[in-house]
Amino acid sequence: MKFERYIFLVALALYVVSAWFSTGFYHGDEHYQIIEFAAYKMGTVSPDELAWEFGARVRPAIQPFIAFYVIRALQVISLEDPYIQAFVLRLLTALLALFSIRVFTRTCRGMVRPEFHKAYLLLSYFLWFLPFVNVRFTSETWSGIMLLNALSVLIKSDFHGNKFYLVGGLLGLSFLFRYQNAFLAFGIFLWLIFIRKEKILDLAKLFASGLAVLLLGVLIDRWLYGEFVLSAWNYFYVNLVEGVASGFGREAWWNYFYSIFRFGFFPIGIPIIISFLLLIIKKPRNIFIWTILPFFIIHSIIPHKELRFLFPVINLVPIILLLAYQELNWDPGKWRKPGQLALRTVALMLVAINCIGAVTVSLKPADSGLTTITHHIRKHYGDQSIRLISYNNSNPYGPWGLMASFYMEKDMQDIRLGSLNELSDSLLRENSVNLLVLKREDAASDPARVFLTDHDATKEVQCIPEWMEPLMTLYGGFRVREILELYEIQVD
């Protein structure tokens, strides 16, 4: 228990650090469909500035609802800085995730052999990608946290009929945060029917409490959209029936295996895949297999695939790794000395890779440094008139055209170039701060170099620190040539 307390305190420190440094958003949905929706309700963003999903009424309102009231509470105590407000949302996520992991690890302690308890705790908090994912104020993370708590209640040995109300409510919340989690709830429901053989009355309790939460979701949707809508149905119809989701890309059925292999960092991604497949064979009645397998199969069938779609089950990876390892029944003590040495070497290598990765993702910005640049602009030029010149999707407020109004300065002109040959004195204004943001590969081109030299331009900041560049390449698939650099242009 003392070891567990120490581990929790270290995890608390790391997750708080990650919440502070993991600025911005991993994917646009984290910002444009949550924070911007909340800003709309606060009256600082107009409907025509929002993502298309607002007009289509396809997104759940529960997270914009939470963000709205958290930000309002911060404004009451005069915390108006949007970067601090976003940090508090990440911190809230981190604390909720830590609490849920603590409960889950204690609940599942009996599944893990005593000699592996410490390894299980370390993996549950510090598997290299977990600190990064568990501070994200996203639908994937919050739905996964609700799922983790539902499983904790379900697995507890003192589980009795009335707790089905709690399980149903938690699964209903998991669905409200992310509609695709219906497949996770479906897998659990099948497990309760065919493996646990639960009573129909208890299953009805689960269904009733889940339905009550869904009705609550309809009311919250009305708060956001101003009318009664079934956003879950709209989401299904628009994305799957009309095929809008496929317009964002179509991938082969095996894409998730490749993504886990590549982005899990290959020495660690391989054991994850092998462990899951091994448990399907060795432990087909296991609740985690029944929870994940339908979810994974359906997502593999759907043409559009993104690794983040699997994030709701990411906190189950440690228990799956340990359960699979136990099934191997390895006894390294029976190995000859060269075999023991090789095993220890591989183990130390994996530990080192994991530790470096955990620190890297905890210190890096989530959006590859877009908000590093926008925060620098606010800190140094926020009270001035700003002309922000950009090229080749390098505008840090909206590289894809949709602007992050939540972070934008009041007096800012957005100048986007169609060609670097357009760089000239005519773009500059004497009564404004003239800023130029370029990708590193574009800044190194002849037109840009000549312009920067002629105007004594100084590089103010780049999106990620130089020391982090090789680590970002290893753990995030980051391309150094796309690093954004911000320059202040002097007017003669």
Mind listing the pLDDT tens digit for each residue in 19-77?
A: 999 999 999 899 999 999 999 999 999 999 999 999 999 999 999 999 999 999 999 99
Evaluate if residue 459 carries a pLDDT over 60.
yes
* Burial grade of 128 (CB within 10 A; 0-12, 13-18, 19 or more): buried
pLDDT-derived band at 339, boundaries 50, 70, 90: low
Share of the chain above pLDDT 90, in %: 76
- Map out the domains of the chain as residue ranges: 2-363, 370-489
Q: Record the tokens describing residue 277, joined without a space.
A: 């497949």
- Give the mean pLDDT of 345-370: 84
CA–CA separation, 222 and 302 (whole Å):
29
CA angle 158, 160, 166 (to 5 degrees): 105
Question: What is the DSSP-derived secondary structure letter of residue 418?
Answer: S
CA–CA separation, 341 and 118 (whole Å):
22
Evaluate if residue 335 carries a pLDDT over 80.
no
Average the pLDDT over each of 348-362, 377-391, 463-477 and give the range with the smallest value: 463-477
Question: For helices 266-282 and 317-328, what crossing angle results, to 10°?
Answer: 70
pLDDT of residue 355: 86
Most confident segment among 164-178, 358-372, 387-401: 164-178
pLDDT of residue 349: 82
CA angle 123, 95, 324 (to 5 degrees): 20
Cβ-proximal residues to 189 (8 Å cutoff; 6+ apart), any chain? 203, 206
Evaluate if residue 472 carries a pLDDT over 80.
no
pLDDT of residue 264: 66
Evaluate if residue 266 carries a pLDDT over 60.
no
Phi-psi domain of 131 (left: phi exceeds 0; alpha: psi -120 through 50; beta: other) = alpha
Residues in a beta bridge with 461: 486
Q: Record the tokens describing residue 71, joined without a space.
A: 């930000």
pLDDT-derived band at 240, boundaries 50, 70, 90: confident
> CA–CA distance from 170 to each of 20, 133, 142, 199 (Å)?
28, 20, 11, 20
- Decide: 174 and 184 in contact? Cβ < 8 Å: yes
Q: Record the tokens describing residue 125, joined without a space.
A: 């908090």
pLDDT-derived band at 265, boundaries 50, 70, 90: low
The 10s digit of each residue's pLDDT in 276-318 is 999 999 999 999 999 999 999 999 999 999 999 999 999 999 9
Average per-residue pLDDT in the chain? 92
Residue whose entry in the numeric block shows the structure tokens 């208890």: 202
CA–CA separation, 166 and 189 (whole Å):
14
Evaluate if residue 333 carries a pLDDT over 70.
no
CB atoms < 10 A from the CB of 359, how many?
Answer: 18
Q: Which residue has the higher pLDDT, 360 or 305?
A: 305
- Give the mean pLDDT of 415-429: 95
pLDDT of residue 331: 64
The 10s digit of each residue's pLDDT in 477-492 is 678 888 999 999 988 7
The 10s digit of each residue's pLDDT in 115-159 is 999 999 999 999 999 999 999 999 999 999 999 999 999 998 676
CA angle 230, 233, 235 (to 5 degrees): 105
Strands 458-462 and 412-417, how do they pair? unpaired
Average the pLDDT over each of 164-173, 179-188, 397-406 and give the range with the smallest value: 397-406
